[in-house]
Amino acid sequence: MPERPSLDGLEAKWGAVWEREGTYRFDRSAPREHIYSIDTPPPTVSGSLHVGHVFSYTHTDTIARYQRMRGKHVFYPMGWDDNGLPTERRVQNYYGVRCDPSVPYNPNFQPPVGGGADANQQPVAVSRPNFVELCLTLTQSDEQAFEALWRTLGLSVDWSTTYTTIGRQAQRVSQRSFLGLLARGLAYQLEAPTLWDVDFQTAVAQAELEDRERPGAMHRVRFTPADGADGNGAGERGASGEGASGEGADGAGADGAGADGAGADGAGADGAGADADARERPQALIETTRPELIAACVALLAHPEDERHRALVGTDVFTPLFGTRVPVLTHAHVERDKGTGLVMVCTFGDLTDVTWWRELGLPVRAVLGTDGRLLEVPWGTPGWESRDVQRARASYDELAGRTINQARKRIVELLSDSGELVGEPQPVNRAVKFFEKGDRPVEIVTSRQWFIRTLEHRDALIARGRELRWHPPYMRARFEDWVNGLNGDWCISRQRFFGVPFPVWYPIDAGGAVLYDQPITPTLDALPVDPSTDVPDGYQPQQRGQPGGFLGDPDVMDTWATSSLTPQIVGGASTDAELLKKVFPMDLRPQAHDIIRTWLFTTVLRSQLDHDELPWANVAISGWVLDPDRKKMSKSKGNVVTPMHLLEEHGADAARYWAASGRPGTDTAFDVKQMKDGRRLAVKLLNASKFALAELPAPGSSLEHPLDRALIVRLAEVVAQATDSFEGYDYARALERTERFFWWYCDYYVELVKGRRYDPDPRVSASASLALRTSLSAFQRLFAPFLPFVCEEVWSWWQEGSVHRAPWPDAGELAALGRGGEELVLEVTADVLREVRKAKSDARQPMRAPVRSVLVGDGAERLDALRLAQDDLLLAGSIERLELREDGEFSVHVELGALG
């Protein structure tokens, strides 16, 4: 035991011992019922860890350590999420490169000197294999830095079980699961409208969207009713949606072209005519924030019971500028009080457009390219008919090739010039959907993508969510809300490079057409495969891309499509069936609440589809770390606190104390003061241990003194509370209960027994020494999940082996040991001591100042209890005489000063 115990250097000292001794090594020979397995979240390695990670990973670690002390063999791996877009973006910026799959592989490639330092420098195009190599290089160095931080923090991870989401095992598991889904018809590909990020040029999933407020403008635009539109036709044609689209529009196109010549002379005349007509003819005014999509308009919609538009419904109108004939239909989702009550359906402005387009069987008129610019469009050909092809062409030439924003600006000018814009655009703020990692709003474009069937499993997923034990329980509502709000199957393909490839090829027929509906799959033992370099069985490499040959699927899977399989990846699915059986389904998934709709949801889905059971029994949801102004810490806000210097300044135990004080699921403000409290607690534990262990109780001694027995009884209750809290995954409550009692113990119990403990007669001191050792043994173990370093240190002073493998204190054993102890003894004695201290403090006297006499008035029962410990009270208060008087009310009269 050191002369002056210190916290300095404990992280390095015990970190090395734990590694050498394999303290946290998983023992796979243990039977399943003795195993506790944790589906650790793999942190994204692109970027750095921040205090939010320290926060939530500490929560998990306290659970892991508790379970280990309860005798469980804890399977606690660590993963790194290096797969996906964040890594690509980081590599692009770090090295100043971009991936171009058409560039051939260069085995001697060196990244550009200086990397992305010069922002004006054009990124260097590199081949896909070179790009992937750069991704791997950079993520490996990140992963080392992360591991160093976790070790300093004292996570009791088994560092021999790590994985990466781009690693071979992850790829194998991911591809194998995909092929299984494909074989069972649960994965399918479809050419369909898809959420699309125009900068990354990839499909994105519903779960990856977020709203951002953006200024926009509302434009009121006039469509021109077609000839013969009046109130008469409305009733008959309004009811049937489909009839109005296909052939109807086609026929009208020819008509319109002829009729046009007359009306198209001058915009002025047109406008005037429309105004004049308005009195007898219905108006076709719509409001839109996206006028650039007018060329993609396929219908106008009104609410079925909206009287204002009754005359128009069932007729056709012409789009402004382009003169495309579109039907006016009804749909129940149209809101009457929004805008004019008449809405334009485009292919596609938003997800509502997709719904309407699908439900009403409307045609597609796509104007938006995957690069976010307006496409060239063949006016006058089928699907692109106009009553004035020349005007349509002339107008559209002003837009083609422009970005969305440029096109919007220009078309507003055109509409204004033609008189088809009514009034001025009105500025509005509206929420726009963004890819959470993107910089421009997501668009919807039609493309071929892979999907996993999700909607049809909704009920089963809700049921699984109810089976799962949520900590805290109310978090389940977020899961159910999400599942109930799903509006499409899960799109898992991404047009990116650093990810798990789809393990399929497609035959190319003799005519050169790719047969996407006849995918060629590899055998399972060939996994993982990369179809962009590997060749399917029965083909030669030179047949790639040739008629009669094959083509590899160019896409990679979404990150979540792989990380939704983390339990199977760490559990050794497909390579280690024996391990899988021991750890899967897992006991615990710890994660933050913001990824319930992604990671949690997709993991439950995959486990449901592949195993028809839950992937884990419990999920523990942690909150976020907020900055002192209660804003979420995020890189973009620049309010992130990096953790390494915090650990160095305050110590790992102190940082863990702060983290473990944050209750499950609750967002917690970052607070250095709490770390200082943690450090105080750790120092206190050092010193209290030093005091308690200084004297050995005489052999064969027992807890004879009533105060000592009372202490042990009370300790047993605290152990029971801490244990219950941990069993309910409430580590914060366990810490709070333990800590509160510990400080009380130091301030009252230890002070009360000090005199007796110092008595030279071992028969007098034995009981106190034994109680001190017994209680410190419990405290050291109760605090071990929270303060692993200092607890290991103080444990090592007097015990063999690691405290982290010692058994968790047993409340029943302690209760038996203190049997007959009356808690009232502790309570009354402490009450009197407090009054004596108060008297000394009021008199500005030191605490060791002598007290001539103390007169205590109290009820008989309490006085009896006090008598049992009055020897300790006299010594602790330097009291020379104690008088007890039976009274209805507790009172203490203190007379300071020594006897004359």
Partner RNA sequence: GGGCGCGUAGCUCAGUGGGAGAGCGCUCGCUUCACACGCGAGAGGUCGCAGGUUCGAAACCCGCCGCGCCCACCA
Site for RNA in 467-496 (CB under 7 A): 474-475, 477-478, 481-482, 485, 487
Site residues for RNA, window 285-324 (CB under 7 A)?
A: 286-290, 301
Site residues for RNA, window 578-617 (CB under 7 A)?
A: 593-594, 597
CB neighbour list of residue 582: distance below 8 Å, 6 or more residues apart: 28, 30, 32, 35, 37, 75
- The tokens describing 595, both together, are 């990824």
Rounded to 5 degrees, φ, ψ at 316 are: -110, 155
Q: What is the rounded CA–CA span in Å between residue 188 and residue 660?
A: 44
At residue 329, what is the residue type?
Answer: L
Site residues for RNA, window 145-184 (CB under 7 A)?
A: none
Q: CB of residue 30 vs RNA: minimum separation in angstroms? A: 34
Q: Which is nearer to RNA, 433 or 582 (CB)?
A: 433
CB neighbour list of residue 864: distance below 8 Å, 6 or more residues apart: none
Q: CB of residue 209 vs RNA: minimum separation in angstroms? A: 7
Site residues for RNA, window 215-254 (CB under 7 A)?
A: 216, 218
Site residues for RNA, window 821-860 (CB under 7 A)?
A: 834, 837-838, 840-842, 844-848
**Piece of 9-17, 114-122, 259-267, 330-338 that binds RNA (CB under 7 A):** 330-338
User: Does 351 help bind RNA (rule: CB under 7 A)?
Assistant: yes
- CB-based contact 628:54 (threshold 8 Å): no
Q: What is the rounded CA–CA span in Å between residue 638 and residue 633?
A: 8
SS3 assignment, position 349 = coil
Q: CB of residue 660 vs RNA: minimum separation in angstroms? A: 12
Q: CB of residue 350 vs RNA: minimum separation in angstroms? A: 5
Q: Which is nearer to RNA, 343 or 492 (CB)?
A: 343
Rounded to 5 degrees, φ, ψ at 427 are: -65, 135
Of 25, 448, 690, 867, the residue at the interface with RNA (CB under 7 A) is 690
Of 260, 724, 736, 864, the residue at the interface with RNA (CB under 7 A) is 736
Count the site residues for RNA by CB under 7 A. 82
Q: CB of residue 683 vs RNA: minimum separation in angstroms? A: 4
Q: Which is nearer to RNA, 475 or 526 (CB)?
A: 475
Rounded to 5 degrees, φ, ψ at 267 are: -60, -40
Q: Which is nearer to RNA, 579 or 782 (CB)?
A: 782
Q: CB of residue 374 vs RNA: minimum separation in angstroms? A: 18
Q: Which is nearer to RNA, 226 or 342 (CB)?
A: 342
Q: What is the rounded CA–CA span in Å between residue 758 and residue 900?
A: 27
Q: CB of residue 309 vs RNA: minimum separation in angstroms? A: 11
Q: Residue 620: in which H helix or E strand, if any? A: strand 616-622
User: Does 25 help bind RNA (rule: CB under 7 A)?
Assistant: no
Q: CB of residue 833 vs RNA: minimum separation in angstroms? A: 8
Q: What is the rounded CA–CA span in Å between residue 519 and residue 12?
A: 54
SS3 assignment, position 811 = helix
In a 13 Å sphere around the CA of 212, the CA atoms on its Cβ side amount to: 13
Q: Which is nearer to RNA, 667 or 895 (CB)?
A: 667
Q: Which is nearer to RNA, 512 or 628 (CB)?
A: 628
Q: CB of residue 156 vs RNA: minimum separation in angstroms? A: 24
Q: CB of residue 860 vs RNA: minimum separation in angstroms? A: 19
**Piece of 80-88, 135-143, 245-253, 738-746 that binds RNA (CB under 7 A):** 738-746
Of 667, 717, 813, 895, the residue at the interface with RNA (CB under 7 A) is 667
Nearest to 70 by CA among 805, 854, 760, 871: 805
- CB-based contact 345:354 (threshold 8 Å): no
Q: What is the rounded CA–CA span in Å between residue 66 and residue 726?
A: 7
Site residues for RNA, window 178-217 (CB under 7 A)?
A: 206, 209-211, 216
Q: CB of residue 246 vs RNA: minimum separation in angstroms? A: 23
Q: What is the rounded CA–CA span in Å between residue 98 and residue 84?
A: 15
Residue pointed to by tokens 């007290």: 851
- CB-based contact 88:115 (threshold 8 Å): no
Strands (E), 824-875: 851-858
Q: What is the rounded CA–CA span in Å between residue 556 and residue 399?
A: 33
Q: How far is CA 438 from the centre of its chain?
A: 17
Nearest to 467 by CA among 591, 597, 608: 608
Site residues for RNA, window 694-713 (CB under 7 A)?
A: 694
Of 164, 668, 769, 829, the residue at the interface with RNA (CB under 7 A) is 668
Q: CB of residue 887 vs RNA: minimum separation in angstroms? A: 18
Q: Which is nearer to RNA, 352 or 416 (CB)?
A: 352
Q: What is the rounded CA–CA span in Å between residue 413 and residue 295?
A: 15
- CB-based contact 819:712 (threshold 8 Å): no
Site residues for RNA, window 405-434 (CB under 7 A)?
A: 430-433
- CB-based contact 298:361 (threshold 8 Å): no
Q: CB of residue 599 vs RNA: minimum separation in angstroms? A: 13
**Piece of 197-205, 234-242, 545-553, 736-744 that binds RNA (CB under 7 A):** 736-744
Site residues for RNA, window 529-548 (CB under 7 A)?
A: none
SS3 assignment, position 412 = helix
Of 751, 792, 858, 872, the residue at the interface with RNA (CB under 7 A) is 751
Strand order in the sheet with 187-197: 202-203, 187-197, 443-452, 490-491
For RNA, what does the binding mask look like between residues 627 and 656, x meaning CB under 7 A?
A: ---x-x------------------------
Q: CB of residue 305 vs RNA: minimum separation in angstroms? A: 13
Q: Which is nearer to RNA, 191 or 649 (CB)?
A: 649
Q: Which is nearer to RNA, 688 or 828 (CB)?
A: 688
**Piece of 159-167, 170-178, 537-545, 741-749 that binds RNA (CB under 7 A):** 741-749
CB neighbour list of residue 45: distance below 8 Å, 6 or more residues apart: 80, 81, 82, 87, 139, 142, 143, 146
Strands (E), 15-164: 35-37, 73-75, 78-80, 97-99, 124-126, 162-164
Q: CB of residue 193 vs RNA: minimum separation in angstroms? A: 14
Q: CB of residue 458 vs RNA: minimum separation in angstroms? A: 13
User: Does 677 help bind RNA (rule: CB under 7 A)?
Assistant: yes
User: Please, what's the b/e burial string for 511-542 (b: 16 or more CB within 10 A of its CB; e: otherwise)?
Assistant: eeeeeeeebbbbeeeebbbbbbeebbeebeee
Q: Which is nearer to RNA, 192 or 209 (CB)?
A: 209
Q: Which is nearer to RNA, 4 or 20 (CB)?
A: 4
Q: CB of residue 157 vs RNA: minimum separation in angstroms? A: 27
Q: CB of residue 370 vs RNA: minimum separation in angstroms? A: 21
**Piece of 29-37, 53-61, 64-72, 333-341 that binds RNA (CB under 7 A):** 333-341
User: Please, what's the b/e burial string for 336-366 (b: 16 or more CB within 10 A of its CB; e: otherwise)?
Assistant: eeebbbbbbbbbbbbbebbbbbeebebeebb
Q: Which is nearer to RNA, 423 or 474 (CB)?
A: 474
Q: Which is nearer to RNA, 581 or 632 (CB)?
A: 632
Of 203, 234, 344, 529, the residue at the interface with RNA (CB under 7 A) is 344
- The tokens describing 288, both together, are 């839109």
Positive or negative CA dihedral for 511, 514, 519, 525? Answer: positive
User: Does 334 help bind RNA (rule: CB under 7 A)?
Assistant: yes
Of 7, 399, 529, 782, the residue at the interface with RNA (CB under 7 A) is 7
Q: What is the largest CA-CA distance in the chain?
A: 127
SS3 assignment, position 449 = strand
